[in-house]
Amino acid sequence: MSLISYSSVLYTATIASVYANVNFVLILNGTNFKDWNENIEIILGCMNLDLALRTKQPLTPTTSSTLEDGRDYEKCDRSNRMSIMIIKRDILEVFRGIVSENITTAKEFLAGIEKRFAKSDKAEASTLLQNLISMKYQGKGNIREYIMSMPNIVFKLKALKFELSEDLLIHLVLISLPAQFNQFKVSYNCQKDKWSLNELISYYVREEERLKQDKTESAHFVSTSKAKGK
């Protein structure tokens, strides 16, 4: 294969890769900024175009600039231009004019969009905290998955600079469990030692299995008693 043919194939493959990646980007619709922003950053990173988001825009080369300075500028400039095109492509047309036309960098462009669409940290923290406090285990799925969903909310709160201690989380877990675990909760509260979250999960998994076993044996006993009565 000639050098020209190889370059043509490589260029075609690159274009195909760009389109394939871009098609995975969410469309910003005004209510999904957080997911859209994460998606944009991941896609640009996978395409090796996130240089403009990670570094400061280099100065325009001058006659005294070195070849390395020129190469750095070209890389960042290409990253910036491609990033802005991809970002604009994945915004609903009605929202494309919300950012000033004077903005020339992808980093500033994303920051401008965030000012318009990012939710208030206080409001988001309030919603997450309300969800955490109101959680109740209904017996669906398994107790391990249920308990692990609570630290996930705490992790999101921590990202918003709203931290909850593990002791408080454990008490919230205990409060959220149904009456069938009351005896177990009383036993925990009477102990001097505190449990870690992992220990709590382990004990509750065993307790759930014991309760299920007792229920099965009780049902079997009732069924056998009825059969003998007949």
| Residue-wise pLDDT tens digits, 143-202 | 888 888 898 899 888 877 888 888 889 889 888 888 878 877 787 778 777 788 888 888
**Residues 131, 110 contacting (CB under 8 angstroms):** no
- Compute CA 95 distance to the chain's CA centroid, rounded to the nearest angstrom: 24
Average pLDDT over residues 38-49: 85
Least Cα distance to 116 among 33, 42, 26 occurs for: 33
Q: How many residues does the chain have?
A: 230
Distance CA 25, CA 49 (A): 14
In the predicted model, what is the mean pLDDT of the chain?
A: 78
Q: Are 171 and 197 in contact (CB under 8 A)?
A: no
Burial status of residue 91 (CB atoms within 10 A of its CB: 0-12, 13-18, 19 or more): buried
Confidence band of 130 (pLDDT split at 50, 70, 90): very high
What pLDDT, on the 0 to 100 scale, is given for residue 22?
61
Selection from 118, 113, 68, 55 nearest residue 86 by Cα: 113
Q: Quote the pLDDT of residue 36.
A: 85
**What is the pLDDT at residue 37?**
85
Top-confidence residue, 40 or 224: 40
Mention every residue, 6+ apart, whose C-beta is less than 8 A from residue 184: 203, 204, 207
Q: Report the pLDDT value the prediction gives residue 2, as an integer from 0 to 100.
A: 46
CA proximity to 43, closest of 62, 67, 64, 17? 17
Contact criterion met (CB below 8 Å) for 12 and 96: no
Q: Tokens standing for 120?
A: 């208030």
Please report, for the chain, the start and end positions of each structural domain, with discontinuous segments joined by +. Answer: 3-117, 121-229
Instruction: Evaluate whether 150 touches 169 at the Cβ level (below 8 Å).
Output: yes
Amino acid 11: pLDDT: 38
- Per-residue pLDDT of 27-40, as tens digits, reads 887 778 888 888 88
Closest CA to 51 of 76, 18, 71: 76
- Residue 16: per-residue pLDDT: 55
Distance between CA atoms of residues 60 and 187, nearest Å: 70
For residue 216, pLDDT beyond 70: no
In the chain, % of residues over pLDDT 90: 3
pTM, entire model: 0.50
pLDDT at 68: 87
Q: How far apart are the C-alpha atoms of 102 and 109, rounded to whole Å?
A: 10
Q: What pLDDT score does 9 carry?
A: 39
pLDDT > 60? residue 67: yes
- What mean pLDDT comes out for the span 194-211? 82
- The reported pLDDT for the residue numbered 225 is 55
* 72 token code pair: 């750095």
In this prediction, residue 33 carries a pLDDT of 82
